[in-house]
């Protein structure tokens, strides 16, 4: 059976969607079969980041409604072997119409065909997030190293724990050593303390993440920056390997 990972954030703008895409591709590079589910029916964007907007025909709603099979709706990536995308319904009202038992059945179906299922949840604390998170096997909270994002991450962690999620980690994104040194951002130890969660990984600030996302290019194939190395490290940790926090990564000033 595959493993479902809900990727969440306490606030928008933390780089959660780029995180999902980067880690998913890194898992595929390790030989895993990966399904990315865009659970944000209000602002779906994974298809844009992955350059797959012209390939998406069905949504997870069509699978739940029986209008499409999971195999038909989960579209193959044109370049990355073993990566598929299942997008969200076109409107938030439609996505909100599915109850958590329908979502649970969808995730169980996905577990039977993929080794990892990464769910890109909407930002914030809405019911759409919790319908997916409650039926995931583990959760990753993505935050930037600033106090407002970390406060949101901490509150998200409390909400997930209250819902019964005990496998919970934080990933700190867009980290710059210079900002930490000058007091413009909290350091990693302080970030862990403030969020109240164990650390899964650190992703450095990298212009290529935004550039590749805007162009719909796979970061691993079009960048030599350190963010792609950080995603690879996180993918290895998710599989159970012991990897040093900043192995092969250098934080820019």
Predicted confidence (pLDDT) per residue in 200-220, tens digit:
999 998 888 888 888 888 887
Task: Read off the pTM.
Answer: 0.92
Specify which of 60-64, 172-176, 185-189 reaches the highest per-range mean pLDDT. Answer: 60-64
**What is the spatial distance between Cα 220 and Cα 232, in angstroms, rounded to a whole number?**
9
Q: Which two tokens stand for residue 216?
A: 């719909």
Class of the CATH-defined domain 3-237: alpha beta
* pLDDT tens track for 124-164: 888 888 999 999 999 999 999 888 888 888 899 889 988 88
In percent, how much of the chain has pLDDT > 90?
51
- pLDDT-derived band of residue 94, with 50, 70 and 90 as boundaries? low
pLDDT of residue 44: 84
pLDDT of res. 96? 67
| Contact residues for 88 (Cβ-Cβ < 8 A; gap 6+) | 37, 38, 39, 40, 41, 44, 59, 60, 61, 95
* DSSP notation for 3-66: EEEEEE-SSS-S-HHHHHHHHHHHHHHTT--EEEEE--SSS--HHHHTT-TTT---BHHHHHHT
């Amino acid at each position: 059976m595959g493993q479902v990972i809900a990727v969440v954030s306490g606030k928008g703008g933390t780089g959660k969607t780029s995180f999902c895409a980067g880690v998913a591709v890194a898992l595929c590079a390790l030989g895993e079969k990966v399904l990315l589910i865009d659970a944000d029916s209000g602002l779906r964007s994974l298809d844009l980041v992955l350059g797959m907007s012209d390939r998406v025909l069905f949504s997870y709603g069509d699978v739940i409604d029986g209008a499409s099979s999971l195999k038909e709706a989960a579209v193959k990536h044109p370049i990355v072997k073993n990566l598929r995308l299942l997008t969200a319904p076109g409107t938030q009202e439609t996505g909100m119409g599915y109850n958590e038992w329908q979502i649970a059945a969808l995730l169980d179906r996905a577990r039977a065909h993929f080794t990892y299922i990464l769910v890109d949840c909407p930002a914030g604390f809405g019911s759409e997030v919790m319908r997916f998170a409650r039926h995931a096997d583990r959760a990753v909270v993505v935050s930037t190293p600033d106090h407002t994002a970390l406060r949101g991450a901490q509150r998200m962690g409390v909400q997930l724990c209250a819902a019964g999620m005990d496998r919970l980690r934080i990933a700190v994104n867009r980290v710059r050593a210079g900002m930490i040194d000058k007091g413009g951002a909290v350091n990693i130890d302080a970030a862990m303390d403030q969020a109240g969660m164990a650390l899964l990984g650190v992703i450095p600030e990298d212009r290529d993440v935004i550039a590749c996302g805007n162009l719909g290019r796979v970061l691993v194939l079009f960048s030599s920056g350190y963010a792609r190395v950080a995603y690879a490290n996180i993918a290895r940790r998710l599989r159970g390997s012991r990897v040093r926090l900043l192995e092969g990564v250098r934080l820019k000033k």
